[in-house]
Amino acid sequence: MRVLVTGAAGFVASHIVDALVRRGDDVTAVDNLASGDRRQVPEAATFVACDVRTTEFASLVETARPEAIIHHAAQPQVGPSIRDPFHDLDVNVRGLLVLLTAASRAGVRQIVYASSGGTVYGSAESLPIREDARTLPESPYAITKLAGEHYVRYFGKAGGFASTILRYANIYGPRDHVSSEHVITVFAERMLTGQPCVIQWDGEQAKDYVYVSDIVRANLRAVDLRRDGTFNVGSGRPTSVNQIYRALEGIIGPQPPPAHAPKRPGDVREFYLDCARAGEYLQWQADVTLEAGLRETVAWYRDAIKGGPVP
């Protein structure tokens, strides 16, 4: 299968490219390298350094004529979206529109869109959160990801391609950047380098954490089955920041007492996802336990730190 992956040198999408290449797909990997690392893209993929907002990218889609596009290129953080919502809008919405219009002209058969189950629902009215729950985004980032879902559905119907929307829980694992401000990544790096961690709010805020290899499997199932629809992709259970801290300390060893800081703007108290629909229609469920995932993550960062600072 011909598959084009955007954001392909980044944390999650680089793992997806690896998996597609391993099974023999013809992969075009696109990234503007603003935050991605070219070294994370396997040589067997065709790599193109390109920004999804450009006419160059639109031409690439029309020339490559992929059967499926897996779209991960984004401004992916809540904090920067609050500080600069215009940039967030430009990357997450205008870039997506360039992709969708080009995909329509190129005869693409499916778009797999990476959305954010951790933000588009906002403060949950009931738990676990189903896909038909009200969406109450509480940050510009969440608003742009939700807007992107509507654009994907519209262009899918208008252009006759399948639109698969994956609402991710909080993803962790090897290759994540400390700059992502993801709590597991930041805690692992600080503990391994002997620095105290900072727990925001009271640490009892609890979220749904899913290991990156489970996200990869969800994308492969989506591409293979070409299902229209919106699917939660997570572990289906909450884990608090304090629980993560204690689990990492148990793996890495005793740590200095953590510092504390106020609640982050846009943070929610608790969320975890009902992933039954992904089980029914994608034959997918999360397989990696938090303990196993944390051990794999720590092992990768320990090796990365030996070679220098974590990216």
Over residues 271-279, the mean pLDDT reads: 97
Say whether pLDDT at 311 is over 90. Answer: no
**Cβ(53)–Cβ(81) under 8 Å?**
no
Q: Are residues 22 and 71 in the same domain?
A: yes
Q: Are residues 249 and 106 in the same domain?
A: no
Bridge partner residues of 129 (DSSP): 273
Determine if residue 175 is left, alpha or beta; phi over 0 gives left, psi from -120 to 50 gives alpha, anything else beta: left
Domain presence at residue 159:
yes
Q: Which domain holds residue 262?
A: 172-206+238-272+287-306
Q: What is the pTM of this model?
A: 0.96
Q: Are residues 145 and 10 in the same domain?
A: yes
The CATH number of the domain holding residue 9 is 3.40.50.720
Say whether pLDDT at 310 is over 70. Answer: no
Domain presence at residue 311:
no
Domain presence at residue 179:
yes
Q: Are residues 82 and 126 in the same domain?
A: yes
What does the pLDDT look like over 174-219, one tens digit per residue? 999 998 989 999 999 999 999 999 999 999 999 999 999 999 999 9
Domain presence at residue 116:
yes
Q: Are residues 250 and 162 in the same domain?
A: no
Structure tokens at 190: 């600080």
Q: Are residues 117 and 179 in the same domain?
A: no
Say whether pLDDT at 308 is over 90. Answer: no
Q: Are residues 46 and 110 in the same domain?
A: yes
Give CA–CA dist 33/8, Å, rounded.
Answer: 9
| Residue type (1 letter), 235 | S
Overall number of domains in the chain: 2
Give CA–CA dist 131/232, Å, rounded.
Answer: 7
Q: Say how many C-beta atoms besides its own lie within 10 A of residue 23's C-beta.
A: 9
Q: Are residues 179 and 122 in the same domain?
A: no
Domain presence at residue 60:
yes
Q: Are residues 268 and 221 in the same domain?
A: no
Bridge partner residues of 70 (DSSP): 5, 112
Active centre residues (catalytic) = 141
Domain presence at residue 281:
no
Q: Are residues 80 and 191 in the same domain?
A: no
Give CA–CA dist 71/142, Å, rounded.
Answer: 16
Domain presence at residue 279:
no
Domain presence at residue 10:
yes
Q: Are residues 92 and 186 in the same domain?
A: no
Q: Are residues 18 and 88 in the same domain?
A: yes
The CATH number of the domain holding residue 198 is 3.90.25.10
Say whether pLDDT at 119 is over 60. Answer: yes
Say whether pLDDT at 272 is over 90. Answer: yes
Pairing of the two strands 26-31 and 259-261 = unpaired
Does residue 149 sit in helix, strand or coil? helix
Give CA–CA dist 78/74, Å, rounded.
Answer: 12
